[in-house]
Amino acid sequence: MKKIVIGLGVLGIYVLYSLGIRHQNPILAKPASLSNGNGASAGSGGSSVATNNSNSSTSGGASASTASNGNQQSSATSSNSSAYKDGTYTGAVENVYYGNVQVAVTISGGKITNVKFLQYPNSHYTSVYINQQAMPYLQQEALHSQNSNVQVISGATFTSQGFIQSMQSALARA
User: Which CATH number fits the domain 30-39+47-173, given the four candidates 3.20.20, 3.90.1010, 3.10.150, 1.20.120?
Assistant: 3.90.1010
Cα distance between residue 138 and residue 115, in whole Å: 9
Cα distance between residue 11 and residue 16, in whole Å: 9
Contact 112, 84 (CB under 8 A): yes
0.95 exceeded by pTM: no
Cα distance between residue 138 and residue 136, in whole Å: 5
- Domain limits, the chain: 30-39+47-173
Cα distance between residue 109 and residue 106, in whole Å: 10
Q: What is the pLDDT of residue 84?
A: 86
Condensed to tens digits (0 to 9), the pLDDT of residues 27-47 reads 444 444 444 444 333 333 333
Condensed to tens digits (0 to 9), the pLDDT of residues 43-69 reads 333 333 333 333 333 333 333 333 333
Beta-strand relationship, 99-108 and 87-90: antiparallel
Task: Give the residue from 142, 137, 113, 135 showing the smallest Cα distance to 45.
Answer: 137
